[in-house]
Structure 1
Amino acid sequence: MHHSIRTYLALVPLALVLLVPAARGGESDALPSAVRNANAQLLSQFFAQGGGASPAVLEYRRKLAEYQQIRGAFDEEAGAYWSQVTEKRKGRNAKRRSGQQITLDDYVLEQPPVYTGPKRPVNPEPEETPSRPPRKALPVASDLLRAAQDLYQFTPQRPTSEVEFKRAYARYALASGLTREQAVRVYSFETGGTGNFDVQAGIEHGGKRAISTAMGYNQLLTTNSVELLAEQGHEFIRALSDKIARSSGPTRQLLEHKLGVLKKMVAHAKSVPDTWSEHEKIGDTAQGWAMHAMVLDIDIGPMLQTHKLLTSVLFARAKGYTRPLTAAELEMMNLTGDGTGLDMVTMPQAMREQVPTSNFFQRSGYERNPVAIRHDTVAKLLAVTDARMDSNSNNAGARELAAAF
């Protein structure tokens, strides 16, 4: 709240005014030094006390100054910690590129600092809050289907039943190199062991509002769908072409139309540089929504869900990791990205017991992840992932998927 000098002067206590002797006959006699000093002292005390502010405001200002001092010291400490995490990560990447062995010294072994100071106090006076643009609504299945129809005159062929989709996924996943354990346990972790082929994050277990575009058994984002069409589209085209060759009549005509749409989508996904940021830009448009609608299709959907995991398996092999990934290890790569996930996967158990999970996150992501904070070493994080998979694998959807293999 802003006050003019005129307002402040109007609030000066009457005692201060009484200290000033009236001028006689228009004369401007100089004030005695004692009076001048008293005036200055009163003015100093008056403005130091907040210029007439209420006790609540004065207390708020005191608490705010205390908070800012404590929080500032913490942010300085935390900033140094997370800078060290970043530098250690760069060092590990450089050592891997040159074929050097990674050791404990290549990780930050202390846990990140935790803020335990006071919360920011609430200002008792009204404050102007900056206007924020309205949050953009996240697309749901109906939006994806509408985009596919509007842009491609295409409606994905949805399964006649949930078990039909599970069987199609199981067939393609096995043929592509995923194991039953990997597929079922990752599904159990991602969907709670109950999700349908069109399950979307936030709209499950009674949820009313989508919290992301993550959809299906392995929770693909719109960006994932765009990226997989760009990078694996040739495989999708080949597999669908093989199915067309075995078909005839109206079924063949429907599949040929689907193939034409798929080729257009793949071409568009490939039209930008093969980077996550570029694919994310497409994913945030109606074009990307239309591509994401393919997760609902009985032919393309199982391919997308499979390759979401298979790319991590192939990445690990390409980096020389030949042992089959456990489902929990595969999930770490699925959650954190292939490079970061493989960093955890290739770590010996003795190191997993000592290395904090903070080494594999950015600060903002870590501080929003209560699971990584609570289970604060690699070993603990993998263990809780396995435990959740064990529990959720007993649910009906997981049992149905296991039976489809």
Structure 2
Amino acid sequence: MEGTPLVLLLSAAQPAIDSGDTAWLLAATALVLLMTPGLALFYGGMVRSKSVLNMFMMSFVSIALVTMVWLLAGYTLAFGNDVGGLGLIGNADHLGMHGIGPTAVHGKVPTLLFATFQLTFAIITAALISGAVADRARFGAWMVFVPVWTLAVYVPVAHWVFGPGGWVAAKLHALDFAGGTVVEVCSGASGLAIALVLGPRLGFRRDSMRPHNLPLVLLGAGLLWFGWFGFNAGSALGANALAAAAFVNTQAAGCAGLLGWLIVEKRRDGHATTLGAASGAVAGLVAITPACGSVDPGGAALVGLAAGVLCSYAVSWKFRWGVDDSLDVVGVHLVGGVVGTLLIGLLATETMTHGPEGLFYGGGLGQLGKQAVAILAVGAYAFGATYGIAWAVNRWMGLRASEEQERTGLDLTVHAETAYDHGVLTHGMSHGASHATAPHSPDRSPLA
């Protein structure tokens, strides 16, 4: 090797970066990041007009807050080498992304790109929780809650399921391809916890709280669907056959979920609604997230259909139980995540997993049991830890907006802005006479 330039020697010692895989993951990362603005539109259209900007702000500020936390400590604790062999948390070797240069490689892609891809998952998981506290959470308290929750809840769960040596993947051997537990169950259980701490909105189960702008809801759902291809197919971490399978499974489940929800609506209420179409598509996409790398397209359609049907019933439970999960984070993300994660134990095929099989393919009950344990562990931890964080923030600075702010609307009282100019300034804020106090049509439980 005498006379060989040093740069060539160094490059030969480094694992090769695949340009095709890197290009696909760059695109997938951008797609997943776009999901959070899509979620802002989705949530913003479903709240009353007096709080639409506040919903947008809760999603957009989550992008900034989670990014800072992730680069400082989140990535290393989630994806660093396991500490103590327990599978609970990663090490702190890369605080502030220390030691991860542009030539560092994860598999066949740059480590910095992999870290950014995983960051987009953390962002949308935090933003999803905002749907459970719509119309009544203090924005300042939300800005405190998000970084603490990210470090204390999301990061450990991400290590359990995705990180090297994490106990759910490495010891339990539960299957979760793209985040059914990490994103969906975690956000749903966390949303339930913070909703219980906050209590219901003023007028819950009495006043009409219909979505104020259904075109925004449909636009948001479309952007979520578009971004979900990056979410699921991107989790293959390469431009390969597995990514293609996850891609088509995502489409099949989203369509089946949409149809399943509409069938229930038509039979139960006599109408197939635009809100139901958006809700069903998201429910199907939620459910296929953990399963898209384990089932074939037929199985994906069954997963989506089951989620569309079950989630359409689940969103009404909050009225029966008196828990004001404002935009149905529990009814869709928790229930949908549970459905998709459990159905892996029934529908997983060896052709996709190259090993474990579900009960319907001769695999017995073992994998189903592992999936159930993963759901229970993640759900219980996320609920308990989130409840504790929300309770502490509430005691320290107050998590709930004042009654006057809630009645007038958070857009005007917190952000000094309104989404629509309907004479708010001439009526005045002190009398609570903003445009958003206009009556709405009869309530129908929306989805988040």
* Short-chain TM bin: under 0.3
Normalization by structure 1: what TM-score? 0.25
Normalization by structure 2: what TM-score? 0.23
The structure with the greater share of residues assigned to helix is 2
> RCO higher in 1 or 2 (8 Å CA, sep ≥ 6)?
2
